[in-house]
Every structure is written in C-alpha cells, then in structure tokens.
Amino acid sequence: MPDQPAHPKDQADRFARARESQSVALLEDYVEMIGDLHAELGEARVADIAERMGVAQPTATKAISRLKREDLATSRPYRGVFLTEAGTLLADRVRARHRTVVAFLVAVGVPADVAELDAEGIEHHVSGQTLKAFERYLANVDARGRRR
C-alpha cells in the first residue's frame, strides 16, 4: 500500500523543524569546539576556532556573535572566546550525547572510525527518548555489543 502524501502544512512543519535543528547543531558544534580548545590549549582564539571548524574567520566571528547573543559565550579583546556557564553545560551535554551515540553505533557493529563520523550528525538530531533507549541498550551489553 503506497504511502499517503503528507499534508502541505505537515511537510512545512517538518522542514521548519529540520532547519531549526541545523541551526541549533551549529551552535552546539561551536560551544563544543570552544570547550575542547580551552581544554587542549588553555584558550579559544577565533583563528583556532575557524581552523578547527573548517570555516573562514569572518564565519566563525559571526557564529561567535550568535553564541554571545544566546548567552553561551563571551569574548575579551586579545583574550579569545570563553563559554558562559550555560555554554559550558551545553558543551558537556553535546559531548555526552556524542559519546553515547558513538558507543551505541560501535556496539551494533559500526567500525569506530565510521561511528565517530556518523555520530557528528546524529548527535544533534537524536531525541532524548532515542538517546535513553541507546543508554538502556548499552547498559545491557559489553563493549562488543554482546548481552551481559
């Protein structure tokens, strides 16, 4: 039986949610990168952020301006970019989600290098309900995905 075409409003709602998710994913990537740079280098300069994100410095500056408007980051002249408390909490949540998604993918047989790449996209779009299901699954299997 063929699928029924979606109602135009339902389609529009799905596309709007997808665009919003992509926008949030970008913020999450930046806060995670800023946190990683602070942990690794002790600072997060715009040039380093841009290089690691694979974008031009003006693009990184624009994203950082958005982080500042969202109260996720601050910056100081000649001192780089810093996460606010909210930014740090978000970066920690994103990192934890990433680790869970990678562990789940590896447990179901995805090679670790592929799991890392795939998790970069999945981590931003996985629902809390799905993430909890991944965690329940992982609690009942070993590192190779075998039932305990």
| The predicted structure's pLDDT at residue 69 | 96
pLDDT of the residue at 22: 72
- Of 41, 44, 79, nearest in space to 63 by CA: 44
Q: What b-and-e string marks burial along 65-75, b requiring 16 or more CB atoms within 10 Å of the CB? A: eebeeeebbeb
Structure token digits, residue 73: 């980051």
Write down the pLDDT at residue 94.
92
Structure tokens at 113: 């290098």
Q: Among positive and negative, which fits the CA dihedral 101, 138, 127, 32?
A: negative
DSSP state of 141: B
Picking from 85, 80, 57, the residue whose alpha carbon sits closest to that of residue 70 is: 85
Q: Which residue has the tokens 């299997």?
A: 141
The per-residue pLDDT for 83 is 96
Tell me if 141 sits within 8 A of 107, measured CB to CB. Answer: yes
pLDDT of residue 14: 72
Residues lower than pLDDT 70 in the chain: 1-3, 18-21, 143-145
